[in-house]
Structure 1
Amino acid sequence: MARSNKKPEYLKSVVGPALALLALLVIASYALLGPTGIIAWTDYRSALSERKIELAKLQKERDALRNRQLLLDRDNVDPDLAGELMRKELNVVAPDEVVVPLN
């Protein structure tokens, strides 16, 4: 009987550290393999570099559109750009111009 009493005491003394070790293993595996873990950092770095390239492209496009907006300002329209847009959008030409087909 003495042996049977020691066995549950031994199990009780082992269960606490075993659960703590299990919890540490779960946390460590999540730190390595989780969505924000160490292994996922390489994916984030490549995605970041792709997004930086896309951001630079979009900023360049935004600057071009801002310049065009300034050229089309209602109070100070660039006459060359206004003439170009009229010819392109409305298919009109001035009376003194000659249309040369490229085909």
Structure 2
Amino acid sequence: MWTKHHKKRRFGRLVVPAITVAFLSYFGYHSIHGDFGLQATEQLERQRIARTAELAKLTKARVALERQVELMSDGSLERDMIDEISRYQLNMSRADEIVIMNTYF
């Protein structure tokens, strides 16, 4: 009767666990630091919040401008409105006027 006798290898039994650890380490690292990882997701969320705030500010400015345009439209053209806007834009006043500056700290 013939039998095969194999020597027990010390490193042979560590190959599969080593490959498994390498595999899990690779995907674990990229789940945190990768392009779609946790850190990138947090950064995208911060950008979304900042841009939402900027959008709200721009929307508010647009509404104000639309209101000004509505006041200056053909149907309701007011001399006072045109005078006020032109003075504000040109930063001018007449010699007989008193200018009061409001400063907020």
The two structures have a TM-score, normalised by structure 1, of 0.57
Confirm or deny that 1:76 pairs with 2:75: yes
Query: Which residues of structure 1 form unaligned runs of 5+?
Result: none
Cα offset for 1:21? 5.5
Contact in 2 for aligned 1:32/1:39 (Cα 8 Å): yes
Partner of 1:99: 96
**Number of matched residues?**
92
Instruction: Give the percent of matched residue pairs that are identical in Structure 1 and Structure 2.
Output: 26
**Deviation of 1:18 (Å):** 5.6
- Deviation of 1:58 after TM superposition, in Å, equals 1.0
What corresponds to 1:54 in structure 2? 54
Closer, same or farther: CA 61–85 of 1 in aligned 2, 3 Å: closer
Distance 1:85 1:102, change over 3 A: closer
Do the aligned residues in 2 keep the contact of 1:72 with 1:78 (CA within 8 Å)? Answer: yes
Higher helix share: 1
Secondary structure of the 1:35 match is coil
- Shift in Å, 1:24: 4.3
Residues in 2 aligned to 1:61 and 1:90: alpha-carbon distance in whole angstroms:
20
Q: Which amino acid aligns with 1:70?
A: E
Partner of 1:85: 85
Task: Answer yes or no: is the 8 Å Cα contact 1:86–1:92 preserved in 2.
Answer: no
Cα–Cα, structure 1 residues 44 and 85, in superposed 2: closer, same or farther, change >3 Å?
closer
